[in-house]
Each structure stands twice: as structure tokens, then as C-alpha cells.
Amino acid sequence: MTSGRGVLLDVYRTAVHTDFAAVFERLATEIDVAPRSLSAALNEVAPAVTVGRVTMADALATAVSACGRTVTHAEAIELARLDAEALIGASSVFDDVLPFIESCRRIGVPVAFVSNCAENTRPLLQALGLANAVDAIVLSCEVGSAKPSPEIFDHALAALNADAPSSVLIDDQVEYCDGAASLGIAAVHIRRGAPADTSAVSSLGEVPRLLGWP
């Protein structure tokens, strides 16, 4: 039975900045293909990776094949390891994230990271010191459902013992905000660096005031 408030916090471009071009560059250099070609090929298999139907190793093997190269299963696993390593090296936490999470804790509101992502995201959150900062981590690749589908939001609310009308999603994607809103979850659209005259907030520091929190 759900009972209270909760914050559903997106990961990429909301809590974490990642230079994905640098990740593709490192992998492309390793296998000697064009970064743009590798990126395009990975985008083709991304939907299956996002909901956990395909592992990163298998996705990389497929993408490399689409670029005209072949890799063994062992080489694909090594590429997946390099991908996870490169992701960590290319990522940083926005300065307002930990203070925002702490402000939620002070008023007794639990926080969950909710992300459409591959299996490399949980190690990333651990490496960045974010995994232990929140009450739950709900990843699309682990629950088999991706935003804006209702199922992933239901997973997150259940993980926080929260109810939809008392909870909020903070996300950089309008489509995902709309998906949460359709379930009765308040949605805050964040655009880092957004001008003050837009409907989006530009930082997490604006959220408590927007929601009327102390």
C-alpha cells in the first residue's frame, strides 16, 4: 500500500552530464571504425538494450557488424567493459544534485533515480557516489519497461512506498514528463541552462520553491 511523497529523478542530463561523443570516440578507436557510424549503429539497437532484451556486449557486437567489422564474443564482452569504463570517465555530477537530494531527505521525501538506460548505468551511479545517496534506483534495463510507459513509474513509486498524486518526476524529456503527468504524478521539466522565460527549470535548486516545499 502506497503512503506518501516521493521524487523520481532522471539520470542523464538531469543529474549527470555525460560526453557521449567521447565514449563513442574511445570505442570507435578501439575497433577502428568511424565514431559517427558506431553511434548510428548503436542507436538502432538502443531500444532493445534499454528494456534489457539485449546486453551491451551483444549490442556492441551487432553495431560493430553493421560497421563492417566482426568481433568474437570475448571481444564484445571486453568492448562492453571499455564502454562502461569510458562512460564513467566521460561523466560528472551536476553541482546541485547532492544538495537537492539532501534537501529532500531533510523534509522526509525519498528519492529514486529513474532512468532509461543500459546496464552500464548502475556501475556509473556507484562510481560517481550517487548510488548510496538515494533510496532506490529504477533502471529500464532491469525492470523491462522504459519511460514514458506507466510500468516504470509504478516500479519507482512502489520502491519509494509513494503515491502518484503526492510525487514528482524531474526529467529533461517533455515526453517523459507527460507520461508521468498522465498517471497523476507532478512533472517538472528541467533544461540545464534554460532561459528564465521558459516553462522549464534550469536547476534542481528551483524545484523546492516551485513545489511549495520548505
List the domains of the chain with CATH numbers. Answer: 4-17+92-211 (3.40.50.1000), 20-89 (no CATH)
How confident is the model at residue 3, as a pLDDT?
A: 55
Nearest Cα to Cα of residue 168 among 212, 122, 126: 212
Q: How many CB atoms lie within 10 A of CB 144?
A: 14
pLDDT tens series, the chain, 214 aa: 345 899 999 999 999 999 999 999 999 999 999 999 999 999 999 999 999 999 999 999 999 999 999 899 999 999 999 999 999 999 999 999 999 999 999 999 999 999 999 999 999 999 999 999 999 999 999 999 999 999 999 999 999 999 999 999 999 999 999 999 999 999 999 999 877 667 899 999 999 988 888 7
- DSSP for 47-79? HHHHTTSS-HHHHHHHHHHHTT----HHHHHHH
| Residue indicated by cell numbers 538515494 | 134
Closest-CA residue to 146 (of 124, 110, 126, 173): 173
Q: Distance between terminal CA atoms of the chain?
A: 26
Phi then psi dihedrals of residue 189, to 5 deg: -85, 125
How many C-beta atoms lie closer than 10 Å to residue 185's C-beta?
23
pLDDT of residue 214: 77
Confidence (pLDDT) at 194: 73
DSSP state, 196? T
Residue 212: the pLDDT is: 87
pTM: 0.94
Tell me, what's the pLDDT at 2?
A: 40
Task: State how beta strands 91-93 and 16-18 pair.
Answer: antiparallel
